[in-house]
Structure 1
Amino acid sequence: MENITFKIYSTIATLPENWDEVAASNHFLQTPYLQVLEDSAPTNMECFYLGIFEKDNLVGVLLSQYLDLNKLKSFGERDIYIKRIVRNFIFKNFASHVLFLGNNMITGQNAYALSKEIEHECLSKLLIDCSNSLILYFKNKGVKIHIVSFKDFYKQNATLFKKNDFKNLYEFNAQPNMIFNLNENWKSKEGYVAAFTKKYRDQYKRAHKKYNGVIEKELSLEDVSLFEDRINELYHYVAKNAPFNTFFLADNHFSTFKEQCRNRFKIFGYFLNDKLVGFHTLLLNGEVLETYFLGYDEEVQKNNMLYLNMLYNMTEFGIENNFKKIIFGRTALEIKSSIGAEPVYMSGFILHTNSFLNKYIGKIFQKLEPDLEWNQRHPFK
């Protein structure tokens, strides 16, 4: 550990030249994506980029995000009124300044990338030290960080972190990440559909029949710029009806993403009678396809089973482009399982900087976490 140090950067322009080489294993720790965050982060978010050095050599990169929840008008409007009021009061007064070590905008293990192995004993201490430095940075600006969250670790990494400097942190498992490990024998959508049981093959046929009249089109950068107001309108409808939100995307987010990341970011529009009625987005991350934000017109969604057809289209894109798995994220668990995704539980770690409140962080967190009841579907023979 004596040879391992870190440095905090607040702008992409100041990053070391070999940053992208070190971040080679994850496109969403590389500078094109980080530039998206810098140019179009949510209005209540501030991003930091941390370089991990062994002596003078950059051997790791880390993303951190600060969220000011005081700037949000709503945390989500789907939960019952009383629960929403209580949750909003607690967040505004005791948890409004949140520091994430990791990416709060993408589901999965995207906090850091390393060009050489660093033992978890060292890495866990390093993450704690990084968070303490950022807490001090904000303290010097007159901002008190309330909550620190170390976000999204797969079970093996979480277990190793827990044995070291994370042992006194509260470990939580939020809603599972729905992941679809694609069968390598599927070469086209026909192979995928043939693997369904009759019940789910009938569901596929019924959804496509309802889909009649909706036209899907991949959008170019020019298209995204042209339709951006409508894209944002559709996005906000879905986002506001989620059970919980800590941010809302900037109005220029999708066009900025497309401009910076080009073919690594795909956005597909859905048109009915020449009107944009829905969209979904995909992140191409090596052999992994990651779903991102989407939006839709509620009436078209109901009448044309638009969301389910989006899920099928994402899956078929993954199969036809030889991806090994698709990350579907944490929402709509049951319907995602009906198309083949399976739940993978990931761990996060959280602490409150108030030592008294931190004693009860587990009980508080459980009260604030949205209720979850769902039945996993098993669609294949």
Structure 2
Amino acid sequence: MESPHHYKIHTSTQDIHVNWNELTKSNLFLSKDYLLTLEKSAPQNMNCYYISLFENNKLVGIALAQFLDLNKLSSFGERDKCIKKSIRNVVFRNFCSHVLFIGNNMLTGQNAFQFHASLDAKIGVELLQAAAEEIKKTLKKKGIKVHITTFKDFNKTESTPFSIPVFQTYYRFSTQPNMVFKVNPNWHTFDDYVSALSKKYRDQYKRSRKKAEGIHKQKMNLDDILAHEETIYTLYFHVAQNAPFNTFFLPKNHFSELKKNLKDLFLFYGYFEDDKLIGFNTLIKNGNQMDTYFLGYDETIQREKMLYLNMLYDMIAYSINNGFKEIIFARTALEIKSSVGAKPEEMFGFIQHSNALINSKMDKLFCYLEPKTEWQERNPFK
């Protein structure tokens, strides 16, 4: 008997199903507007695929896939100047440079797919696995062999549908945690948050604010972003290049495209000293959840003015004052995010290598793919 389920894969948002957005109400990062931004300003080493799932010709699921060619990167990250970095780079170039993500490698959290309530999640992920195989075949016809296929990022509950036979050859891994800031229901203003801090962390807050005197924060519109595009990119690239590990770099027009497509749902704040842009941060409103996005700064000023910490406080202030329930701080700078009240949420993924022998050793290889970070969790509250 023929299955009532099937999938379709598209490479342009123009071709996706007319009802696509009906399934994105709970996640902006799968909406046509956000995907259109990716289409117009994705990293140059990334190709996006849009997957529709059907049950009896009714749209019951949508998903995003991204193919990354890491050979197109000049650097995977400059911070780790050591033998491990050299080994990692050799491993990547030869065995792991072509990666297919089912999900969004630019974000943290479950932004891979959305299923209608009527679709069994196990059937949904099985269909996505079949779609991933088809994408790999399509790439193979173009002379591109996918080395690694990975489904990311899922919390413990979200990862349960993957316990099916087609995922038995995938290695289940746990990455660095997603730092999530839950807004206490008793906090109605940012002052309530500051009052809830213990003396040590309230002193940290006061010290950081004092250090930042003389810096002016400005909400920037599309014209402002376009006018400062060169400086914005320089500040972003400096931070990105000094991260411990990178799989992509954004193009210059990414933030302006995001502002064009998401409008008031995308917030861009510039930090100025003597009318010179020295840093910026970005936020995306995703329902009652606030997602922190990319940022940039001048490292010399950042240290002196505690700019990054001040940005975190500003993000918290905006989110509390505007009634958001939580802030997704993602998975970098874990300790400093912990010091302002974010808590780690364990995230899981599923990874498979095209070479069966390498795949059987994935538990050993994975430490090179995902460098571990040692950090200490803080509790800033009374």
- Mapping 1:1-381, distance limit 5 Å: 2-381=3-382
Distance 1:231 1:158 in 2: 37
CA drift at 1:351: 0.3
Matched residue SS, 1:123? helix
Distance 2:165 2:121 in 1: 7
CA drift at 1:159: 2.9
CA contact (8 A) 2:104 2:112 kept: yes
CA drift at 1:254: 0.7
Q: Deviation per CA, 1:148-200: give whole Å up to 9, x if none.
A: 01010110121331355323310111110000010111111110000000000
CA RMSD of superposed structures (Å): 1.1
Residue type of the alignment partner of 1:356: L
Distance 1:24 1:164 in 2: 31
Residue type of the alignment partner of 1:189: F
CA drift at 1:25: 1.6
Distance 2:367 2:303 in 1: 32
Of the structure 1 ranges 16-25 and 330-339, higher mean CA displacement relative to structure 2 is found in 16-25
Matched residue SS, 2:314? helix
Q: Deviation per CA, 1:253-297: give whole Å up to 9, x if none.
A: 111111111111111000011100000000110011000100000
CA drift at 1:305: 0.3
CA drift at 1:113: 1.1
Distance 1:121 1:253 in 2: 35
Distance 1:109 1:117 in 2: 19
Change in Cα spacing, 1:96 to 1:367, as seen in structure 2 (3 Å) is: closer
CA drift at 1:314: 0.4
Matched residue SS, 1:307? helix
Of the structure 1 ranges 293-302 and 166-175, higher mean CA displacement relative to structure 2 is found in 166-175
Residue type of the alignment partner of 1:257: L
Distance 1:12 1:163 in 2: 30
Residue type of the alignment partner of 1:343: P
Distance 2:211 2:180 in 1: 26
Residue type of the alignment partner of 1:66: F
Distance 1:95 1:7 in 2: 27
CA contact (8 A) 1:211 1:305 kept: yes
Matched residue SS, 2:111? coil
Residue type of the alignment partner of 2:179: M
Of the structure 1 ranges 164-173 and 341-350, higher mean CA displacement relative to structure 2 is found in 164-173
Runs of 4+ in 1 over 6 A off after TM superposition: none
Distance 1:274 1:224 in 2: 15
CA drift at 1:120: 3.1
Residue type of the alignment partner of 2:192: G
CA drift at 1:125: 1.3
Q: TM-score, normalised by structure 1?
A: 0.98
CA contact (8 A) 1:218 1:266 kept: yes
Distance 1:286 1:272 in 2: 33
Q: TM-score, normalised by structure 2?
A: 0.98
Matched residue SS, 1:135? helix
Residue type of the alignment partner of 2:206: K
CA contact (8 A) 1:266 1:283 kept: yes
CA contact (8 A) 2:278 2:298 kept: yes
- For structure 2, the residue ranges without an aligned partner over 5 or more in a row are none
Matched residue SS, 2:192? helix
